[in-house]
Amino acid sequence: MATDADAVVIGAGIIGAAVALELARSGRRVLCVDKGPAPGAGSTSASSSIIRFSYSTIDAVLTAWEAAACWRDWAGHLGVEDPAGMARFVPAGSLVYRTPDYDGAAVLAAWDDAGIPYEVLDPDALRARFPALDHGSYFPPKRIDDPAFAADATAELHAFYNDDSGYIDDPMLAAHNLAHAAAHHGAIFRFGATVRSIGRRDGRVTGIELDGGEVLTAPVVVNVAGPHSSHVNEIAGVEADMRITTRALRQEVFVVPAPSGLQLTDRAPFVADLDLGQYFRPQVGGTLLVGGTEAACDELEWIADADDFDESASVEGWERATLRLARRVPALGIPPRPVGLAALYDVADDWVPIYDRSSLDGFFMACGTSGNQFKNAPLAGQFMHALVDAAAAGVDHDRDPVQFTGPVTGRTIDLGAFSRRRSPTATSGTVMG
């Protein structure tokens, strides 16, 4: 049995659903397949869903800034209301501490270029603005069993702050919203569907085959399989010409009570704390969501099989997260047992995503999102639409990169910045991008 489509999208997470929406809006017959049970049920459901602009390249900054406008007018972006409810943008400023190896100079230069407002805060300003935080520097991040972990602060921190940031209150619902909008334009979603192989003939993709033998034929296939994307690229046979590859990384996030001054009602910020090796943000219910930033002292847990990993948060991870957070938040209240979960990042070598074509004509990739691309899903969908259209028009994106014009800023975003064949980008080497 074969089913015909104009495009098959592999993956119905936040970015896969966005790709399906934009391709369906273009009038294409779209089939979106996912091995999970529902839109966003995989890594998307565990996302911290932070909307921020602290990237070190102008193309990444412009992408996040343009995408934020979509999130703030979510119903307008989708063009349809989801009966299941609508995800909501929650304002929460972004506070980024400066450290000896992350002074933010590249970020602020890009913000100046893009016209993004910000404040630079010295220790006195930090104490006045955010009295619930300890602004001492304990750099570099240390393991909690290191005797130096308990040492006093060696200096006081400086930081930069942007007031336009925030987060999305329900990441899985956001993916459902996108899938609903895509279905409104005719896209069909298939869940519980695992890709067995990628069809090809004469150097072109012909579609996919699912476990069970069903063939879905299409001249366009987009790999948005998240932590499974490297496996999909492997079975498609497109890895040989990629200078940037991806692999799955297990990550843990935790929830702790937020003390006074750090709750949503206090307009508490998202805090990027590379001084201690973590980030945290307020959320509904008077709690803080806490995650790590891949500090050099922390061993990374790479996963060979994205279907085989422990989804339960560990006691060791809990102790590390809470003890580090307690240094920054002196009034922290710690629950008697861990509250958190584990999920996977789809990490690119340089922590910058791949939005690109491949060596197999008609096979495209939106992968390597490295735990920091949830915010960019609306733009990622539009990027992939632009790349598919360009290929259909005979444009060689490898030789002549597609230029995308942001509808809000009118600025050009060079999609070559997200090429699979780029030289590794100099970034922070963490989820911060």
Q: Give 285-332 as a DSSP string.
A: TTEEEEEE---TTSPPEEES-TTSS--SPPHHHHHHHHHHHHHH-TT-
Query: Can you give the pLDDT at residue 334?
Result: 79
Tens digits of per-residue pLDDT, 39-60? 999 999 999 999 999 999 999 9
Question: 2-86+170-245+350-418 adopts what CATH topology?
Answer: FAD/NAD(P)-binding domain (3.50.50)
Query: Can you give the pLDDT at residue 261?
Result: 95
CATH code for the part of the protein at 90-167+248-345: 3.30.9.10
Nearest CA among 110, 107, 113 for reference residue 94? 107
Tens digits of per-residue pLDDT, 294-339? 999 999 999 999 999 999 999 999 999 999 999 999 999 877 788 9
DSSP label of 373: -
Domain ranges for the chain: 2-86+170-245+350-418, 90-167+248-345
Answer yes or no: same fold for 2-86+170-245+350-418 and 90-167+248-345. no
Q: d(Cα 336, Cα 315) in Å, to the nearest integer?
A: 11
Structure tokens belonging to residue 23: 């391709």
Rounded to whole angstroms, what are the CA distances from 409 to 45, 61, 404? 30, 12, 11
Q: d(Cα 363, Cα 239) in Å, to the nearest integer?
A: 12
Per-residue pLDDT tens, the chain, 433 aa: give them.
467 999 999 999 999 999 999 999 999 999 999 999 999 999 999 999 999 999 999 999 999 999 999 999 999 999 999 999 999 999 999 999 999 999 999 999 999 999 999 999 999 999 999 999 999 999 999 999 999 999 999 999 999 999 999 999 999 999 999 999 999 999 999 999 999 999 999 999 999 999 999 999 999 999 999 999 999 999 999 999 999 999 999 999 999 999 999 999 999 999 999 999 999 999 988 999 999 999 999 999 999 999 999 999 999 999 999 999 999 999 998 777 889 999 999 999 999 999 999 999 999 999 999 999 999 999 999 999 999 999 999 999 999 999 999 999 999 999 999 999 998 865 556 766 6
Helices (H), 82-165: 105-114, 123-129
Coil, strand, or helix at residue 430?
coil
